[in-house]
């Protein structure tokens, strides 16, 4: 059996995406590039479900969220950061680092945020100008009900800016940037876009753009530069052309299937795997688990050993828990180029090892 | 004739580097990755000619130099920035943006810096703790005599930190990080390493490391995080694994040839092309032109038209001048997977168009 990569980023990449990596390199200060990038931005808009501004940046997911926060919020601003896992904790730390007045709203890892909890926090802390939300915590698999949260927040506080880390959701589960009134959302190529790591992309509302400022040309993290350059289908700095080609191939594939059908496909893999784990006596970790990945455990089982044996005996590679969840959960991606057979193969392998 | 990409980044990429892009993706939190990255760091050390610390980051050249400055210099520090072109001007701007007390040492585009000019500036401006140098200005082709400059500075001011943008030199022309006593140097994958854009790499002295500080985990531009992670052959954030594979293939190729022989090969292409341009009545732009690229012009010739006809008639793609040099020079790379035949083909095409 071939190697099966089930880590929740990087993910299994299809051959047609790998092939696109090999397309001839082009110089980015040309009409040829602008022509390509114009069509790429159209695809990005379709993915984000937006008619507003989009752009991309060469970097990892961390770079993407940091750039979003850095570009949008300014020293001393009050920002509410929802923290319920490893990655959302990063955004709290970074907000402090760039001098924001951070109001962290903390829940134990594995818990989800109800809209009322957020509205209460906004009431208790007047003057908050933005909220940083992690749609799905890759470290726990917990997925916020972003539609509900955004609806509640925007209804009572239309001027509070919603900045969403959608790294582990965009492309995998329903996401409607315009309809939900999100202001700034970030995705990364190596997750639901089933591409190599290297690219992050953004959608941006007028409200978010108004908060950004032009600076000198040299300011890699200033999204204003990217959004302005995108108006003429250009980029401020050298783009990762080969990665752009790969992401283009993935986007073409996903959009040809159609987003709702594609989301449904991810959902079916998730359902199949979660049901299978429960049938084997396992437990799904956390509240409102995402379809992007499954975080799970088995009582009285050495999970690190299980993970190791899956690699050794079956060439199946999944992730363990991180930081405080090390040894307590395993994580399997439903993002990437995966089939129901891959999920069944994994469940069967787990069953055999547990027997 | 096949398309010939002669822009000074991105450059012509060989097939064996493109092939490496397609290697199976691996998860970076594994021994498999650490094993790979350990050998990659060994190759990087050989390239930088250093036995000190090295690391890599997912980003463009701009990201690399910004990260180097951000990690090393702190608010209010006095820093001398040598500025003689588009890219070195960026570093002046960025230094101001992060709150450094910038002393820009400016020369007209096309001029080079003599060691005495720099020593004079250090004397006139006491308390300078670092110098930012652009080894070769990609916008003009001007190459500093880094060995001489570093020798002069370190002899009189051993504690002044030398931060070198070596993006358009490292891998193309002689560079000795340890012997020249450089403190922090930056390279980018899409230049002399004949690879796709996406990776920047650094060598770092003890002096530079002492000036860096740990911060929260979330701080994408803090090289301290990367250098510390590299001690255990790891990276703090998702790395561009496919690009790393490509750069590994290029490094293996260059190191197998041997650095001095490889530098000599670039030198021969540069000599051949520069001689050819002069024979055609053209002029090489600027003082102390680099072997990495040739910036040149022809009097009373519409250079933008020449550039356009090279594309239209011969599928040869080179760069024009940027900003104030637009229409005044053309630029041809000697970095990348190029042969003497490629240089001759370009000279012949230019000759035919000019006739």
Q: What is the rounded distance in angstroms from the CA atom of residue A103 to the CA atom of residue A270? A: 34
| Interface contact B220-A63, CB threshold 8 A | yes
Q: How confident is the model at residue B215 (pLDDT cuts 50, 70, 90)?
A: confident
- For residue B193, which phi and psi values (nearest 5 degrees)? -85, 5
| Interface contact B196-A29, CB threshold 8 A | no
| Residue in A with minimal Cα distance to B12 | A25
Average pLDDT over residues A112-129: 98
Tell me: the pLDDT tens digits for A2-17? 999 999 999 999 999 9
Task: Decide if A18 touches B, using CB distance below 8 A.
Answer: yes
* ipTM of the modeled complex: 0.96
Q: What is the DSSP letter of A129?
A: E
Instruction: Scan residues 198-227 of B and list those with Cβ closer than 8 Å to A.
Output: 198, 215-221
- For residue A289, which phi and psi values (nearest 5 degrees)? -65, 140
Which residues of chain A are within 8 Å of residue B66 when distances are taken between CB atoms?
218-220
User: H or E element: which one contains A92?
Assistant: helix A86-97
Q: How confident is the model at residue A22 (pLDDT cuts 50, 70, 90)?
A: very high
Nearest to B244 by CA among B24, B7, B5: B24
Q: What is the pLDDT of residue A214?
A: 86
Report which of residues A217 and A149 the model is more confident about: A149
**Token pair recorded at residue B190:** 């899409």
Q: How confident is the model at residue B1 (pLDDT cuts 50, 70, 90)?
A: confident
Instruction: Determine the distance in angstroms separating the CA of B55 from the nearest CA of chain A, rounded to an integer.
Output: 16
The answer to whether A237 touches B63, Cβ cutoff 8 Å, is: yes
Instruction: Scan residues 255-314 of A and list those with Cβ closer than 8 Å to B.
Output: none
**Token pair recorded at residue A127:** 């003057």
Q: What is the rounded distance in angstroms from the CA atom of residue A113 to the CA atom of residue A286? A: 12
Instruction: Determine the distance in angstroms separating the CA of A55 from the nearest CA of chain B, rounded to an integer.
Output: 16
- Cβ neighbours of residue A80 under 8 Å, at least 6 residues apart? A103, A104, A105, A118, A121, A122, A125, A128, A130, A131, A132
| Interface contact A62-B240, CB threshold 8 A | no
CA dihedral (B3, B304, B171, B63) positive or negative: negative
Instruction: Determine the distance in angstroms separating the CA of A5 from the nearest CA of chain B, rounded to an integer.
Output: 8
Task: Name the strands in the sheet holding A161-165, side by side, starting at the edge strand that comes first in the sequence.
Answer: A53-58, A199-204, A184-188, A161-165, A128-134, A78-83, A101-106
Task: Name the strands in the sheet holding B293-297, side by side, starting at the edge strand that comes first in the sequence.
Answer: B283-284, B293-297, B330-333, B319-320
Burial A237-268 (b: 16+ CB within 10 A, else e): bbbbbbbbbbbbbbbebbeeeebeebbebbee
Burial B255-287 (b: 16+ CB within 10 A, else e): eeeebeebbebbbebbebbbebbeeeebebbbb
Q: What is the rounded distance in angstroms from the CA atom of residue A302 to the CA atom of residue A319? A: 14
Q: What is the rounded distance in angstroms from the CA atom of residue A167 to the CA atom of residue A337? A: 17
With residues binned 3-state (H G I as helix, E B as strand, rest as coil), the percentages for chain A, rounded to 5, are 45, 20, 40
Q: What is the pLDDT of residue A44?
A: 98
Tell me: the pLDDT tens digits for A246-262? 999 999 999 999 999 99
| Interface contact A243-B240, CB threshold 8 A | yes
Task: Decide if A25 touches B, using CB distance below 8 A.
Answer: yes
CA dihedral (B94, A40, B241, B137) in degrees, to 10, reads -30
Q: What is the rounded distance in angstroms from the CA atom of residue B159 to the CA atom of residue A263? A: 58
Q: What is the rounded distance in angstroms from the CA atom of residue B21 to the CA atom of residue B37? A: 16
Cα angle vertex A48, ends A44, A51, to 5°?
Answer: 80
Neighbours of A321 (CB within 10 A): 22
CA dihedral (A194, A203, B198, A7) in degrees, to 10, reads -30
User: Does residue B150 register a pLDDT over 90?
Assistant: yes
Instruction: Determine the distance in angstroms separating the CA of A255 from the nearest CA of chain B, rounded to an integer.
Output: 23
Task: Decide if A27 touches B, using CB distance below 8 A.
Answer: yes
Task: Decide if B30 touches A, using CB distance below 8 A.
Answer: yes
User: H or E element: which one contains B347?
Assistant: helix B340-354
Q: What is the rounded distance in angstroms from the CA atom of residue B291 to the CA atom of residue B266? A: 7
**Percent of chain A scoring above 70 in pLDDT:** 100
Inter-chain contacts counted by CB atoms under 8 A, chains A and B: 173
Tell me: the pLDDT tens digits for B252-284? 999 999 999 999 999 999 999 999 999 999 999
- Cβ neighbours of residue A68 under 8 Å, at least 6 residues apart? A163, A184, A186, A202, A223
CA distances from A101 to A74, A122, A125, A206, A209 (A): 10, 14, 11, 23, 21
| Interface contact A58-B61, CB threshold 8 A | no
Q: Where are the alpha helices (DSSP H) in A103-240?
A: 115-124, 146-156, 206-210, 223-230
Name the average pLDDT for chain A.
Answer: 97
**Token pair recorded at residue A155:** 């209804």
Q: Which of B22, B60, B188 minimises the CB distance to A18?
A: B22
Which residues of chain B are within 8 Å of residue A249 when distances are taken between CB atoms?
none
Q: What is the rounded distance in angstroms from the CA atom of residue A12 to the CA atom of residue A191? A: 9
User: Does residue B216 register a pLDDT over 80?
Assistant: no
User: Does residue B165 register a pLDDT over 90?
Assistant: yes
Task: Decide if A90 touches B, using CB distance below 8 A.
Answer: yes
**Token pair recorded at residue B96:** 């101001």
């Amino acid at each position: 059996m071939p190697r099966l990569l089930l880590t929740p980023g990087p993910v299994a990449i299809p051959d047609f995406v790998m092939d696109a990596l090999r397309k001839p390199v082009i110089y980015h200060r040309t009409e040829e590039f602008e022509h390509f990038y114009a069509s790429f931005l159209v695809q990005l808009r379709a993915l984000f479900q937006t008619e507003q501004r989009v752009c991309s940046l060469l970097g990892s997911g961390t770079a993407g969220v940091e750039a979003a926060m850095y570009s949008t919020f300014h020293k001393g601003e009050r920002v509410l950061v929802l923290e319920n896992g490893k990655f959302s904790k990063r955004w709290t730390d970074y907000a402090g680092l760039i001098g924001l007045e951070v109001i962290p709203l903390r829940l134990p890892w594995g818990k989800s945020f109800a809209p009322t909890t957020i509205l209460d926090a906004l009431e208790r802390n007047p003057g908050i100008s933005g909220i940083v939300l992690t749609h799905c915590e890759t470290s726990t698999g917990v997925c916020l009900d972003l539609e509900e949260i955004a609806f509640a927040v925007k209804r009572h506080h239309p001027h509070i800016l919603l900045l969403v880390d959608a790294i582990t959701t965009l492309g995998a589960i329903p996401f409607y940037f315009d309809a939900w009134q999100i202001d700034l959302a970030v995705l990364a190529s190596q997750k639901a876009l089933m591409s190599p790591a290297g690219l992050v992309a953004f959608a941006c509302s007028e409200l978010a753009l108004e908060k950004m400022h032009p600076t000198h040309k040299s300011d890699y993290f200033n999204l204003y530069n990217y959004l302005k350059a995108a108006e003429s289908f250009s980029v401020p700095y050298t783009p990762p052309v080969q990665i752009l080609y790969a992401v283009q191939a993935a986007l073409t594939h996903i959009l040809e299937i159609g987003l709702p059908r594609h989301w449904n496909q991810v959902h079916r893999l998730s359902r199949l795997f979660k049901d299978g784990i429960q049938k084997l006596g396992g437990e799904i970790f956390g509240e409102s688990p995402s379809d992007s990945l499954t975080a799970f455990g088995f009582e009285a089982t050495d999970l690190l050993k299980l993970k190791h044996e899956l690699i050794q005996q079956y060439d199946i590679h999944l992730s363990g828990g991180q930081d405080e969840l090390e040894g307590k959960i395993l994580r399997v991606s439903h993002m990437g180029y995966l089939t129901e057979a891959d999920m069944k193969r994994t469940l069967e392998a787990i069953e055999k090892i547990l027997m």
